[in-house]
A and B are shown apart, each in its own frame.
Chain A
């Protein structure tokens, strides 16, 4: 089944120059392996097409059940140069949560996600 990340994770995002960072955190520690498997750097790059013009890097933080993404060249120049409403990338967090991932039915059942 397809599940939107809003059901699996919460997130916070911010900026460093023209790079946005998104911390994606599993709502339950049991969901973390799903995030690791499905929310890859290339999928995030694809999700943000038209928004992220550079590379996407991903870092794993199993201790926090979290992934950190760096989306380069995403903020219209960044800082005071940017003309964007969200020049600081604060809403990239919720933009990522729009993503849907595939979860096998039995896994979804085990994790109680099929209700």
Chain B
């Protein structure tokens, strides 16, 4: 057993810095690379892609990345955990195999895949049996949106990935797995932690929580002393250095920018936090009020003392459903009286929409530069503002009404208040809204599947 392992975060979300994982592999010693690709509604996008093309439905960026880093990973035995499989885990694994053959690495490593998270084909059967999949926020039963459902995936935890690693997988590809599991699984695998090691499982989970948002733990989006955070252009993504007793350090590669210190880690710990006493994952309940942090040298923070409790008997389900359409139109009004002009334009626009008899579930007007982010807390806008962006959004069930709205923005330039510009981008686009429906399902309903095979 190794004394410690280093798990590097390579992506904070699908669309993060493309070269970050490459820099993690090349910038210094690591044992594992974890890559989080799935946001809440990513699965529905992938479901649509797969409906058009049976080969698609996974994080495509993962494949060129593998082409770049596979040789180094195989040579230095760096193992990868990635939820890049989306709704087509097998397709993703096959694409990696093709890359391996092209690089002459076929037969030199094992690929593990974790499936069983997709419950879309079972929805009707589950509902019929009384598994209501009520919305965790609103309490509504899923039957209310049955016809609009686009995808339904259970968040699987660390254990199926642990099995894949135990069976020798170097690259582990999952569908909807928890972000924290991607980090926790390698630690469990290396140190042989048990399923009831609640304190240590909580520690590994918190290590995952800290690094799962990429550079947000190493100086990115950090308020504390932000002006003096060095060289964010060259920001180093975080690395969790984990020990068998559950202690870990957060650090980053030498020679990279950004900053890892206690205030930065505190900020990230509180990100998207609910009840800190009960951070619930499939693997355990972690208690964030037991975390101890200590600066342990430059760009190095020690994390210790973490307590956890037994996992619950449910898994979270991420369901996506169509919820109508929306569009957002913007125009920019300049000094003098920019805010007053933007408000006048909004009034005119709303009067026209009303005259057209268009029905929306919601119309929202914001004045960017005056109060879009802080609302009334920003105070009364100064008449001397250099410019204000009028930003009007509408949403509703009738696509035609939303489309009609998009044609009412540009006319304001010649038929509304003066000093206006900013329509170069053309008409706003109508977007289909794919909304998120969180629910719980008994663990007994779900059987994860793990396959490991030679690349």
Q: Report the minimal beta-carbon distance from B399 to chain A, rounded to whole angstroms.
A: 16
Q: Is the CB of A79 within 8 A of B40?
A: yes
CA gap between A81 and B358 in the complex, in Å: 19
> How would residues 2 to 35 of chain B score, 1 for a CB under 8 Å from any chain A CB and 0 otherwise?
0000000000000000000000000000000000
Q: Is the CB of A81 within 8 A of B323?
A: yes
Asked if B224 and A17 sit within 8 Å, CB to CB, the answer is no
| A14/B272 in contact, CB under 8 A | yes
Chain A proximity mask over B165-181: 1 for CB below 8 Å, otherwise 0: 00000000000000000
B328 adjacent to A12 (CB under 8 Å): no
Q: Nearest-CB distance from B434 to chain A (Å)?
A: 6
B137 at the interface (CB under 8 A from A): yes
Does B442 touch A at the CB level, under 8 Å? no
Contact with A along B299-332 (1 / 0, CB 8 A): 0000000000000000000000001001010000
**Chain B contacts of A17 at CB under 8 A?**
137, 436, 438
Does B91 sit at the interface, judged by CB under 8 A? no
Contact B263–A83 (Cβ < 8 Å): no
- B289 engages A63 (CB within 8 Å): yes
- B223 touching A61 by the CB < 8 A rule? no
B423, CB-defined interface residue at 8 Å: no
Chain B positions within 8 Å of A61 at CB level: 270, 276, 288-289
Q: A50 touching B376 by the CB < 8 A rule?
A: yes
Question: Complex: how many Å from CA A86 to CA B391?
Answer: 12
Contacts of A83 in B (CB 8 A): 326, 328, 362, 364, 393-395
> Which B residues touch A81, using CB under 8 A?
323, 395, 433, 435
Q: In the complex the two chains form, what is the Cα distance from A80 to B41 in whole Å?
A: 8
Stretch at the interface among B70-78, B248-256, B367-375: B367-375
Which residues from A are CB-within-8-Å of B376? 49-51
What's the Cα separation between A114 and B293 when bound, in Å? 29
A-B contact count (CB 8 A): 121
* Chain B: interface size category: 35 or more
B residues within 8 A CB of A16? 272, 274
Chain A: interface residue count, which band?
35 or more
B400 neighbours in A (Cβ, 8 Å): none
Q: Does B349 contact A (CB under 8 A)?
A: no
Q: Is the CB of B438 within 8 A of A98?
A: no
Is there contact, CB below 8 Å, between A66 and B266? yes
A10 to B264, CA, bound (A): 10
What B residues does A18 contact at CB under 8 A? 137
- Are A10 and B263 in contact, CB atoms less than 8 angstroms apart? yes
B221 within 8 A of A: yes
Question: Measured between alpha carbons, how far is A23 from B40 in the docked complex, in Å?
Answer: 22
Contacts of B373 in A (CB 8 A): 85-86, 91, 94-95
CB-CB contacts of A40-63 with B at 8 A, as 1s and 0s?
A: 000000011111000000011111
List of A residues within 8 angstroms of B224 by Cβ: 10, 25, 27
A23 and B267 contact, CB distance less than 8 A = yes
A contact residues around B372 at 8 Å (CB): 84-86
Tell me if B291 is interfacial: C-beta within 8 Å of chain A: yes
Nearest chain-B residue to A72 (Cβ)? Answer: B137
Q: A12-B270, A85-B372 are in contact. Are A95 and B289 (CB under 8 A)?
A: no
Residues on A lying within 8 angstroms of B by beta carbon are 10-12, 14-19, 21, 23, 25, 27, 47-51, 59-66, 68, 70, 76-81, 83-86, 91, 93-95, 98
Top 10 A-B residue pairs of the complex, sorted by shortest distance between their CB atoms: A23-B270, A83-B393, A14-B272, A91-B373, A83-B364, A12-B267, A10-B223, A85-B372, A95-B374, A10-B224
Chain B interfacial positions (CB closer than 8 Å to A): 40-41, 137, 221, 223-224, 263, 266-277, 288-293, 323, 326, 328, 362, 364, 366, 368, 372-377, 391, 393-395, 433-436, 438
In the complex, 24 of the A-B residue pairs with CB atoms within 8 angstroms, ordered by the A residue number, are A10-B263, A12-B223, A12-B267, A12-B270, A16-B274, A17-B436, A21-B272, A21-B274, A23-B269, A25-B267, A25-B270, A51-B377, A59-B276, A59-B277, A64-B270, A68-B270, A79-B41, A79-B436, A81-B395, A81-B435, A83-B395, A91-B373, A95-B373, A98-B377
